[in-house]
Amino acid sequence: MRLRVLFLLVLFPLSAVAASLPVPDQGPALRIQGSNTIGAALGPALVKGLLEHQGLQAVHSEPAQGANEQRVVGKTRQGKIVSIEVAAHGSSTGFTALKKSSADLAASSRPIKDSELVDLEPLGDLKSPEAEQVIAIDGLAIILNPQNPLTTLNTEQLAQIFNGEVSTWEALGGAGGDIHLYARDDQSGTYDTFKELVLRLRGKPLAATAKRFESSEALSDAVSQDPQGIGFIGLPYVRQAKAVAIVDGDSQPMLPLNSLIATEDYPLSRRLFFYLPPSSHNPWAKALVDFTQSSKGQAIVAASGFIAQQVQAMAVEPRSSMPEDYQAIAREAQRLTVNFRFEEGSASLDNKARQDLQRVVAYLKGHDKLDRQVTLVGFGDAKDDPQRAALLSKLRGMAVRRELVKSGVVLRDIRGFGAQMPVAANTADEGRIKNRRVEVWVY
């Protein structure tokens, strides 16, 4: 799908950031631990933005005690020092730190696991809308050396490659001899995501021959210098390497383009999270979450190379592989860069969708499109009865409509296209969840 993004941004602050936060007499004002993907650059950039928004001066980063650890420091007008510590050793370490009370906020490049959720129950429900905060969208890019001629791989091939079952480039129709594997370390949310989206679904462990990296930058640079290399990495870290298009099941080949990642249609797209324990009494933690969700925070997300959650309109070029009725919508309307998705096994919108409702309403108000200027388009996973699949997909659109009408939105239409145009394989729960989605089109 070729998408032309029209930059109609909605700078929508979800909530005001509290002013004049208390300065602790000693120690850091806030401790963040977890994902290297977030903690290497995005987390510190957001912290700097918050400190500057609070009016602090001479805000800067400095190395902390260990590798992949830093401290962001600022000074109040009264001369008091405020510091926030960011440690980036992998998503799982953030949840461990919350349990040990050695962190106030966990940064994660994957959803919290059920075992972690149970383990952290004394801190409150970390899956509640207030606790689980989607701060950005990222795409796992599959990277090759720039001289590698391959342009497309499917998720089945990826599993075979990184398991070692396919060990030469010739087996993929290429050239170059043995395949050299590069992967993030076991603490990494990037690795967890790749394992969940690619390896585990096919019952394949990562080959022991893979070279492992804690640093995203170091992994990417190693692949770009190795003609036989292949690796997986967060989108901002492609650097000098080459990203390939990915196919999942019956989906179209998709490059990790901003527009396809924003809608989470790209097969290896993922959400980045802050987890704020409901039991937290640290005002800096809540202030950072609120700042991150504001227009200023999301601008920092975009400047850091990730996909912000600001709503944009994009023109979609009709293709012959699309249903005719869908092509008709694409010819007349523009699609918003947001897909509403649902909690697993439920008709309830998930936590990101709840936030996106506010963003979409703000966009519609800002562009005078509240009255019969919106069509919702629902999709679902394959069912034995195509008519039932079509009905369920339309019902998902109606679930979104119920929420939009509360804000005064009068829809033009709701359409259901069933299991058509899948963005993921329907062979596992993760794929079916991605296919159960509602698109927003504006006229």
CATH assignment of the domain containing 143: 3.40.190.10
Asked whether 14 and 293 are in contact (CB, 8 A), the reply is yes
The answer on 332 and 395 residing in a single domain is yes
Q: What is the pLDDT of residue 5?
A: 39
User: In sequence order, which ranges of 304-342 are alpha helices (DSSP H)?
Assistant: 324-332
Q: What is the pLDDT of residue 15?
A: 41
Q: How many CB atoms within 10 Å of residue 68?
A: 16
Separation CA 234–CA 76 (nearest Å): 35
The answer on 112 and 50 residing in a single domain is yes
Q: What is the CATH number of the domain that holds 387?
A: 3.30.1330.60
**Structural domain includes residue 298:** no
**Structural domain includes residue 270:** no
Separation CA 375–CA 408 (nearest Å): 15
**Structural domain includes residue 305:** no
Separation CA 39–CA 398 (nearest Å): 39
Asked whether 204 and 174 are in contact (CB, 8 A), the reply is no
The answer on 223 and 283 residing in a single domain is no
Q: What is the pLDDT of residue 275?
A: 98
Q: What is the pLDDT of residue 18?
A: 41
Separation CA 5–CA 50 (nearest Å): 29
The answer on 108 and 155 residing in a single domain is no
**Structural domain includes residue 357:** yes
Q: What is the pLDDT of residue 427?
A: 80
**Structural domain includes residue 420:** yes
Kindly give the parts of the chain with pLDDT less than 70: 1-19
**Structural domain includes residue 190:** yes
Asked whether 21 and 74 are in contact (CB, 8 A), the reply is no
8-state DSSP, 418: T
The answer on 438 and 314 residing in a single domain is yes
Q: Could you give the number of structural domains in the chain?
A: 3
The answer on 232 and 214 residing in a single domain is yes
The answer on 165 and 224 residing in a single domain is yes
Q: In terms of residue numbers, what domain contains 125?
A: 18-131+276-293
Nearest one of 425, 108, 103, 122 to 249, comparing CA atoms = 425
**Structural domain includes residue 217:** yes
Distance of CA 245 to the CA centre of its chain: 18
Cα torsion at 361, 367, 368, 370 (round to 10°)? Answer: -30
Asked whether 382 and 419 are in contact (CB, 8 A), the reply is yes
> Which tens digit of pLDDT belongs to each residue from 82-137?
999 999 999 999 999 999 999 999 999 999 999 999 999 999 999 999 999 999 99
The answer on 61 and 116 residing in a single domain is yes
The answer on 249 and 125 residing in a single domain is no
Separation CA 277–CA 189 (nearest Å): 19
Q: What is the pLDDT of residue 385?
A: 86
Nearest one of 99, 76, 84 to 30, comparing CA atoms = 84
